[in-house]
Amino acid sequence: MTTEHASALNTDPATAASGAQSPGRDTAGVEARRRRTFAVISHPDAGKSTLTEALALHARVISEAGAVHGKAGRKSTVSDWMEMEKARGISVSSTALQFNYDDCVINLVDTPGHSDFSEDTYRVLTAVDAAVMLIDAGKGLEPQTLKLFQVCRHRGIPVVTVINKWDRPGRSPLELLDEIEERIGLIPTPLYWPVGIAGDFRGLLDRSDGGFVRFTRTSGGATVAPEEHLDADAAAAREGDVWESAVEESELLSETGADHDQEMYLAGQTSPVIFASAMLNFGVRQILETLVTYAPPPHARDGVDGTPRHVTDPFSAVVFKVQAGMDTAHRDRLAFMRVVSGTFERGMVVTHAQTGRPFATKYALTVFGRDRNTVDDAYPGDIVGLVNANALAPGHTLYSDPRIEFAPIPSFAPEHFAMISARSAGKYKQFRKAIDQLDTEGVVQVLRNNARGDASPVMAAVGPMQFEVVTARMQSEFGVETVVNNLGYTVARETDKASAPGLDRQRGVEVFTRSDGVVLALFSDKWRLQYIEKENPDLTLRPLVAASD
């Protein structure tokens, strides 16, 4: 299928009538059809950051790839820029990369893999049109991958599956496909089939034409792997039984109906599958080609009142992430927005839906890892960083008339709680500023009550590694050394001011106010919660959104 054909299948209804639109609206529609905005999701250590860099390498926006925990002499990945990420070899913060490939503009968001950062990944999935689900060939589907796939299914995000690390010993390809279908109900439809078992990756059988794409290793996988394209006869002569086995398995897939169907893919019923080795850069071009050809371009998004905002409507955008400290030379904060509709022009004055106030966009950037470049215009699907946007938080909406407000991004139910304070009283001012900034970014939720005061707020998090990020950033960005004491609470419930005094009198319970004004009651354990609910049915206690939902 051609790029134009795939795009035509997914054109925003308002764009179809472009002949009757103004030139500005037509430009937004044309540019939107060129955009592919997607996230890479997986369990930790499946190779997300390595794949992100390999995709950038194949798009020729970098000249040499690296791996976070690769061989000596290789560079750190462009998407992992925090010292903590480089040291641990994992992503703990989402990053956005934009580059061109063929006639398309790729907006790629690399997400944290560790379950402690599920909330950050969820925010990213509110800003993309498709996802690449990365699976380790040796481990198959893992818990975090399953959770993230469920988020994609809930949000109607179509998924391309990449079975990574085929250069290492692993499971059989048919076994992996069976697991995908049985455990998540997604029908896998391979576009390419591996030639050679896991650990003996010779190339890919292109199921669209029956040809063979043979790869050649490069030193350390640092450059694009050369490809040799052979027809079926030449492949059989070259690879013998290994090729014949691949052909037989591909024919078996066709007999069972495991061939790509665009409508079923967009409906979330099937998933195109590609086998690859991101470390060796095998199969990476095929991933890019698949995204360009089949992944949907930007489309209409409904506001909170159900009104659709089409890509050709006046400008609107949703903020999905706020991040500071990306560049030690700048003490600014970037609010990342996904353009939903219209054309963004740097310097335009728009409206902040949450406050109703005008918002100037003088300083706007596109980002590539830590690198930043001024952007003058952007279109639906693009990710733009707004500098020093102190009024913005994840879930906020910006728009040009007519008014639109998109649904807020929910905060997850925290399961870990710790009190934090500055080690030195002389650093209180910097401490307070740092806590407020990290709270606004959504790194942790910050809770306060009168008993503890502002000098010792409580951090609430989905996972304890979030606390490590806070302490590391407090030290590196603000020069504040902190003391963290874990608290003996494990369950949080939303309550209200009327119920707060009654809950505060209970043993094993403490009531706080979150920075967004939500009142939370913390309980020592679920049994304590159940007892209090039974004995005090008049008290308001509402569950929060769980990270596993």
Which residues sit in the known binding site for GTP?
110-114
- Residue set of the binding site: 110-114
CA-based nearest residue to 382, from 5, 187, 84, 108: 108
Buried b vs exposed e over 98-115: b needs ≥16 C-beta within 10 Å? bbebeebbbbbbbbbbbb
Angle, alpha carbons 81-377-40 (nearest 5°): 40
Q: For residues 46 and 23, give the distance between their C-alpha atoms in angstroms, rounded to a whole number.
A: 45
Q: For residues 286 and 243, give the distance between their C-alpha atoms in angstroms, rounded to a whole number.
A: 19
CA-based nearest residue to 48, from 92, 2, 103: 92
Q: For residues 271 and 265, give the distance between their C-alpha atoms in angstroms, rounded to a whole number.
A: 6
CA-based nearest residue to 317, from 281, 286, 289, 345: 345
Q: For residue 351, what are the β-bridge partners?
A: 358, 399
Q: For residues 189 and 192, give the distance between their C-alpha atoms in angstroms, rounded to a whole number.
A: 9
Angle, alpha carbons 261-265-270 (nearest 5°): 90
- 3-state helix, strand, coil split of the chain in percent (to 5) is 30, 30, 40
CA-based nearest residue to 392, from 324, 321, 473, 316: 321
In terms of DSSP bridges, do strands 104-110 and 35-41 run parallel, antiparallel, or are they unpaired? Answer: parallel
Helix (H, G, I), strand (E, B) or coil at 240: coil
